[in-house]
A and B are shown apart, each in its own frame.
Chain A
Amino acid sequence: MNDMHFVKSIKIKNFRCFNSLTVESLSRVNLLGGYNNIGKSTFLEALEIITQSKTKVDFINIIKDIIYRRQGKNLQDNEFDMIAYDESWFELETTNNCVFLEIKSNNTISILEDEDRIDKQYNNISDTLQVELKVNDDSDKIPHSRFIDIINNDSSRYRSPRYRRDLKSSENIDFINSSTIDEIKLASLYGKVIDLGIEKEIDSFLGEFDSRLDSLVIRPTERHSVFKVKLKGKLQPVLLSSMGEGLNRYFAIICGIWKSQNGYLFIDEIENGIHYTKYEELWEIIFKISKAASCQVFATTHSRECIEAFSRVAEKCDRDNIKYINFSRTVDNPDEIVATVLESVGLEENFQLGADVR
């Protein structure tokens, strides 16, 4: 198994709620727990940024994607909110990669030296702030107003090819968020399954989730394709979306791991929509496929049952490659968040012993 690309540790500085956080001993499958608003999803974002950012272009585009995903519909008005309160920069660092972003006063840096017409145009309108973006040793400075336009995807003002994304760089990294997964997202995940020719395997996993399911079919329409499910003994397939949120999510997770082969999959609130009796099956499949696909998985949860199922299944699987990470605030300084990495096995016992490790 090729796990050389796995993130083994990460250092986070001034990123959203984390002023300074180091997490070591990360593994192939990592489940993150902790109270609400403790930074679990933020931790996923930090990992997503550092794994996506091979170049400055990747860096700025993943920032844009995350802000769009989180703030969504307020196009033109989305705010850049990734720097910790009262700070002007953030930095993320793993063994192989380091990204840095700083907002600073315009007069502290020189006017851009490159020939980019749009950069000059922005400088001419006397922007008072500039943004420095750095990926490893490669850095760039752009006017703050232009940076905001880029993260708002304002095409009327942002036409430079300089920050146009190379789609290939992010093809094996994906994020499944906590809300309902739409057909477009499912299609993007299922594409890789078709490329790999493993549709039958996916059908089999879906059958394990719900024994009434026979196979998945794609019904092309004029504008896009619709996922349908053939039920055993029934002629007409039914819409996958009509089968409930749990099945959609289960399907997205399985396909997401294959889509992220030799890469990374981030899953926010993994238990959403899935009945607790299905958690063990879900983890079994995640442990199995992530190993086969050499995909590093990071998932968040609030559910005690989900953690216990994770622990029980880890006991049977390759426990050395499965970790549980708890986030908590320190008693003496509620702004300080600390992480504790626990072995996956024995978590159920910890709950029984009265230690709420969620």
Chain B
Amino acid sequence: MKNILIVEGKTDKKFLESYIDYLCKTAPEKYYFLDDIDNDNDNIKDATGQDKIFSVLNAQRIFINKRETKNIGILIDADNDGIDKKIEEKINPAIQKAFGTENAIQFPNQKYPITYTENDRENTFNIFCHIFNLNGKGELEDILRKIRTNKTLQSPICLDKFVQCMGDFNIAYPEKEYKKNWVYFYGYESLKKEQLNIEEIKSKLKNNEYYTPKYWDFDNPLLNELKQFLDLFQ
């Protein structure tokens, strides 16, 4: 049986790969059911873009029909829309388009079985979601900022100056972009302290190799809901 995790964006995928790997290594008996995601990163699907969640779900019909995929978890950001709106307007329409089930998910972090008939044959799988948020809004990057291990690390001055400079030209720098770049700069500053040469730093940045427990507190209570979500793969 296969578990599929759908995320929105490269950052989310890299973070989840690293976080699941951490859980599987620190508590292998508890998180044995995440092994297939941990061992095969292809089980985490980056569904960034219009209608991509539907595309992944639609292709998964092949693997559900052949009784391979049992659980599908969807992880997206609340952004400014909030949790309910994301479920109602983004996740459920994609599920309905792929499997014909209306309003499949009511709440995050709850498992919902879906049964659909295709070619005279009944197929069942479980679907569930988690919406990254802080107090109902925001995104993964907001959580990352809160759980960074090095709170004293100098904030990326050049980024703030760039945003200020753009503001002077009446050009608003998108908040979401700012948050993503902030994480990137934090990674850069953290790697700089490792006595690595510039090529090694570039390589690690390129491969997002800064999502490690050393730079982020993976045991922070702010990740408890994410853990509950991952428990649903059991």
Contacts and interface: CB of A to CB of B under 8 A. Distances in A.
Interface of A: 11, 21-24, 326, 328-332, 338-343, 346, 349-350, 353-355, 357
A331 B68 contact: yes
Given A330-B66, A338-B65, A342-B58, A22 B120 contact: yes
Interface stretch (B21-29, B42-50, B88-96): B42-50
Contacts of B46: 353
B199 interface: no
A355 B59 contact: yes
Contacts of A346: 55, 58
B56 interface: yes
Contacts of A23: 119
Contact of B67 (A332, A342, A343): A332
A353 B52 CA distance: 9
A276 to B, nearest CB: 22
A349 B61 contact: no
B212 interface: no
How many of chain B's residues touch chain A, expressed as a range?
20 to 34
Given A22-B119, A354-B42, A338 B59 contact: no
Interface of A is mostly: strand
7 contacts: A338-B121, A342-B61, A349-B55, A350-B55, A353-B56, A354-B45, A355-B56
Interface in B26-74: 42, 45-47, 52, 55-56, 58-63, 65-68
B118 interface: yes
A308 to B, nearest CB: 13
A8 to B, nearest CB: 12
A328 B65 contact: yes
A10 to B, nearest CB: 10
A343 B66 contact: no
Nearest to B118: A340
B68 to A, nearest CB: 5
Nearest 9 A-B pairs (CB), nearest first? Answer: A355-B59, A22-B120, A350-B59, A328-B66, A22-B119, A340-B62, A354-B42, A331-B67, A330-B67
A22 B121 contact: yes
Contacts of B63: 355
A57 to B, nearest CB: 31
A353 B47 contact: yes
Interface in B1-19: 1
A353 B55 contact: yes
A353 B66 contact: no
